[in-house]
Structure formats: structure tokens, C-alpha cells
Amino acid sequence: MEKKTGTCPTRWRPRRPWLTIRAKKHRWLRVTAVLALIVTAFHLVDKCSTSRAALRVKYTPTLFPRLTPDEQTALKSPRWHWATSGERPRGAADESDTSSSSSSSSSSSSPSYSRQGLVEGRDAWEHLGSGFEGDTFRHGDVVVKVYRREQSPFRNCVPGWEPQLRWPTEIAASVVVGGMFDTEDGGVQNKAAAFLPAVDYFLSPGTDRAEAEWHFVTPFLPGGTLVELAQRLRESTVPYTARDLDAIYRPSLDRLLQALDKMHTKYDLCHDDLKLDNIFLGGPGTVSAAEQLPASNTTTHWILGDLGNVRERGHPYHTSVLWTSGKSNAPDCRANDVSRLMKTYVDFLRSSVDDVENFNAEFFDASQPWSRLFWSVWDGVVGGMDNPTARTTLERSAADYAPSSPAPAEGLIVRPLPDGLRNSLYRLFLGRSWMLDRAASEVLRVSAGEWTARAWGLVPLLGVPYSSCHCGSS
């Protein structure tokens, strides 16, 4: 009997609509993902381009539009060139000054100084710290700053030098505003000195192991900065109040306001980087006991330093995205300088007192002369009133400083208290003291960094963008 062979008929299976739906869904998901990647890529490219354009504007050269013929000559002096170095007394007016009487007078009050000896003794330098632009060292009674161009490119050109050679803006601004160190005038101990002067500046010769580096030499100030002074006052055996310290240091603040007024009106320049670290003590030495600090000229003669961010009032950075994105920046850089100086001063008082909780209460109540002065400046910058100037703030400081009149000045705006301060639950869980302390820290914040722009601008990979410098305007 034959076996029947054959194929088994294919079983019919009904079509499953949900498979078709899932396939279409996956297709739309892929399309959506591709579109999202394209939009994200365009956003990243635009963000990178915008950030790099903002950085390029910030590193545009500083112009000095109001220089006298003597100041222009000083700025164009070839004293920075290594070939002009040699033994000379510190405090000499210029390398070209060959007056023997001046040299002998200067050398009698200040030890001799030579670039060669300074550079050869680099192994003995004491490292003081590192900043955004470079490293600082102490060598005897001078401070040497060595610049790093990789992280912070030089914005300006050495005037009158061909081919084009860039140098740090801090050197040019210090020569113009601070001048050269002169022991015959008392140096930084002269009460009229408001800006840190330059002892020397030069471009060291390159070697096989190191490239040429810019050096900026300034006097060593043993008193340090306001950061160290605030720490010594806080650790003192005397429990200072903000009112006590304001009575002692208000004249120091007034002298800084006078210095800003000179910078703004005479030179049409703005500091743009006022903070505790950039205000130095120019007294004639140190003191042994912390309780004696306020009675010594060592702590009351304040000097402005670190002029690396100095820019003219019409500099494009003052209208750039980096500037306007700062919540506390005033549109006018002069008013912004005054605002930052007042924040720095109040922050100094706050860092020096023993009772910070009471300080915060007096600060927001505007019940003291120092707090009234601060909020009057705040009114002009944040409240939409007339922009404060260094001169008007100085006049207000003299008129308002009346310790016998604790009432707040009229016309002050409402304090920027924490939103939940009037909420009983907030006060219960967070506490009034903590909320006031946080609000005070926020109001006094002066940071205006560029790290976000550097990250979006891929600076670690592409470097910092910068514009061409104007040699004729340094």
C-alpha cells in the first residue's frame, strides 16, 4: 500500500493590527529622535558661537582715551625691554633718568634692585598664590607677578612696538593710574597713594627650557588685603560692632571713593573687579596685637590694586551678554564700580564683627549710617533711580554719617528680604537668622565669572578667543 506524501497546507493566521501600530510608532520615535538631535546640535553650535563671541568681546583691548603727554610718554617707555635692565635703585623715575642726585637719594631710602638678580634668584621666591592671570611670589620686599597667557590672553599691545607684541593690561593700567614707585614721595606709605604703584615690569628673555614671560613687580605690603584684616579683627579679643568699625574705617572708604572718582572722571576708566582681595593695606608695617589694629595707620590706608580688568567706559564688554547676564551689574560701569565698592565695604564689616546675626538685622533695617549709605547706592543701581557716582556717594557719606541720627533716610526702597520671611512655617523650619544670613550673602555677592561661557565656548579645546589689539592705543 502506497504511502501518500504531500505538504501540509499552510495555516492561515489573521493579521495583527497592533504590530502595524507598533512599527509605525517606532518609525515616528526614530524621526522624533533624529529631529531632536538636529535641534540640539543647532542649539549647541549656537550656544558655543554666542559664548565665544562674548568672550572675544571681553578680551577686546582697553583704550586709554584721556592721557596727558607725560602719561603717553610713560606708557611708551621701552623700560620693559630686557636690554634696558641693569643695576638701578628702586624708586628711580625711569630707566633713562641719569641724575646722580636722584639716584643717590632713592638708593639711600631703598635697597638696590636688578632684574638679573631677581630672575636668577627665582628658586628662592616665596609663592604667595595663584590667580586667574598668573602666579604671585615674594622676593625680599617686592612682589613679582608672572603671567600665564594660556588661561588669560593678553588684551593689549605694547604701544609703538613693531612687530606687534602683546602685554598684560594690568601693566599698562598700573603705569597710567598708579604710576611708578617713588620712595622720595613716601611710596605706598604716602597717604595720597590710592593705587598700587609699579616697581618694575619687563619681558624676561626666553630660554631653551622656558619661553619669555612678562613680570610685574610691585612693593610688598606686609599688611595684606582686607581679607586678612577682617580675619584679624574677627579673631581679636575686642568684640567689635559694625558701628565701631565704620567709625574707624569710613575715612578709608571715602579715600577709595576719591580714587574711583579720579579713575572715572580723569581717565574715563572703570576698575570692573573690586573685591576684598584687591584692596591692600598700605601702612608702614605690621602690628603685634590685634586689639591695636584700628589705632594703626597700617590698617586705615587702603590701596586699590589688581588693575587687570580695567576698561574704558565705552568698552563693548559693558554691553555684552556676559555683562548684562550678571544680575547685580549696573548698565553704567562707573555706577557698577561704586556698587561693588559698597558691597565690598559692607562685606568687610560683616566679616569682621563678632555678632553676625545682629549685623544682618541692622543691615536690612537700615538703622545704621553704614547700612543707610549702602541702601542709598542700591536704590540708584537696582531701584531705577539716578545712577550713583563716586562723587555723589562721597558727598552722601559725609552728610549721612551722623551717629546720633539712627532713623533711616527717606525714600529707601523695600529691602530684598527672603520671600518666606513673613511666613511662619518658613521661620519655624529654616529660622529667621538663617534666612537673613542667606539674603545678606546674596545681596553682597560680587562674583561675575566667565566659567559658564568658557564651558559652552569649548575653551579647553579651542582656546580663548580674542580680538586684534590696537598698538597705537596700547
pLDDT (tens digit per residue) in 329-364: 888 999 999 999 999 999 999 999 989 999 998 998
Same domain, residue pair 435 and 413: yes
Give me the mean pLDDT over the 191-218 stretch.
84
Dist. CA 200–CA 195, nearest whole Å:
15
Higher pLDDT pick, 86 / 252:
252
Q: Which of 142-146, 189-193, 230-234, 410-414 shows the lowest mean pLDDT across its residues? A: 410-414
Could you tell me if residue 47 is inside a domain?
no
Higher pLDDT pick, 22 / 266:
266
Same domain, residue pair 342 and 415: yes
Same domain, residue pair 206 and 230: no
* pLDDT at residue 104, rounded to an integer: 34
Same domain, residue pair 357 and 259: yes
Dist. CA 433–CA 207, nearest whole Å:
58
* pLDDT class of 119 with cuts at 50, 70, 90: confident
* pLDDT class of 271 with cuts at 50, 70, 90: very high
* pLDDT class of 6 with cuts at 50, 70, 90: low
Percentage of the chain with pLDDT > 70?
A: 73
* pLDDT class of 118 with cuts at 50, 70, 90: confident
Same domain, residue pair 212 and 271: no
Query: φ and ψ at 412, to 5 degrees?
Result: -75, 145
Could you tell me if residue 400 is inside a domain?
yes
Could you tell me if residue 105 is inside a domain?
no
Same domain, residue pair 402 and 294: yes
Examine the fold and report which residue of 219, 249, 282 is the final residue of a domain before the chain moves on: 219
Same domain, residue pair 157 and 136: yes
* pLDDT at residue 324, rounded to an integer: 85
Could you tell me if residue 7 is inside a domain?
no
Could you tell me if residue 8 is inside a domain?
no
Same domain, residue pair 239 and 366: yes
Among the listed residues 77, 115, 128, 284, the one whose alpha carbon sits nearest the alpha carbon of residue 216 = 115
Examine the fold and report which residue of 156, 187, 219 is the final residue of a domain before the chain moves on: 219
The pLDDT tens digits of the residues spanning 128-187 come to 988 888 899 999 889 999 998 888 889 999 988 877 889 999 999 999 999 988 755 555
Dist. CA 279–CA 348, nearest whole Å:
11
Give me the mean pLDDT over the 259-273 stretch.
95
Could you tell me if residue 99 is inside a domain?
no
Q: Which of 93-102, 140-149, 268-277 shows the lowest mean pLDDT across its residues? A: 93-102
* pLDDT at residue 166, rounded to an integer: 92
Per residue in 370-397, is it b (16+ CB within 10 Å) or e — as a string?
bbbbbbbbbbbbbeeeebbbbebbbebb
Same domain, residue pair 192 and 206: yes
13 has a pLDDT exceeding 80: no
179's torsion region: left (phi>0), alpha (psi -120 to 50) or beta?
Answer: left
* pLDDT class of 93 with cuts at 50, 70, 90: very low
Same domain, residue pair 211 and 291: no
The pLDDT tens digits of the residues spanning 52-69 come to 998 999 999 999 999 999
430 has a pLDDT exceeding 70: no
Give me the mean pLDDT over the 4-28 stretch.
61
CATH number of the structural domain spanning residue 370: 1.10.510
| Total domains present in the chain | 2
Same domain, residue pair 234 and 197: no
Could you tell me if residue 251 is inside a domain?
yes
Could you tell me if residue 468 is inside a domain?
no
Q: Which of 68-82, 197-211, 263-277 shows the lowest mean pLDDT across its residues? A: 197-211
CATH number of the structural domain spanning residue 159: 3.30.200
Same domain, residue pair 232 and 194: no
Dist. CA 256–CA 282, nearest whole Å:
13
Residue 152's domain spans which residues? 69-83+112-219
* pLDDT at residue 255, rounded to an integer: 94
* pLDDT at residue 420, rounded to an integer: 54
* pLDDT at residue 115, rounded to an integer: 85
Give me the mean pLDDT over the 427-435 stretch.
68
**How high is the mean pLDDT of the chain?**
80
Examine the fold and report which residue of 203, 219, 235 is the final residue of a domain before the chain moves on: 219
Virtual torsion, Cα 344, 349, 352, 355, nearest 10 deg: -130
109 has a pLDDT exceeding 80: no
195 has a pLDDT exceeding 50: yes
Dist. CA 309–CA 168, nearest whole Å:
10
